[in-house]
Amino acid sequence: MAKENVVRLFRKVQIDADLKQKLNSAPNLEKFVQMAQEHGYDFTLEEWQDVTRFQVEELQGNLSEIPGI
C-alpha cells in the first residue's frame, strides 16, 4: 500500500502546483517524506527510494530535480 502512495503523490503533484511547491521546499528527503505524510501520503524513505530508484547519496540537488516532482 505504501508504494501506491508514492505513485499517488507523483500523480497529485502533476496537477497540484501548491503541493508541489510545498514539497519542493523540503531541505532533505527525510523532511520531504515527513511533509508527504502530513498530506496523507504514508510511505517511508526506503519505500520512496525503492519506487523512485533514488539513493540519498545520488541526490545532491534540490528535490525538484526528482522526475515527477
pLDDT attached to residue 56? 47
Contacts of 26 (CB under 8 A, 6+ apart): 32, 34, 35, 63
Q: Which residues of the chain have pLDDT under 50?
A: 55-57, 60
Using a cut of 0.85, tell me whether the model's pTM lies above it.
no
Contact by Cβ (8 Å): 13, 20: yes
pLDDT attached to residue 19? 95
Q: How far is CA 29 from CA 14, 50, in A?
A: 19, 13
pLDDT attached to residue 61? 54
pLDDT attached to residue 43? 95
Q: What value does the mean pLDDT of the chain take?
A: 82
Give me the amino acid identity at 69: I
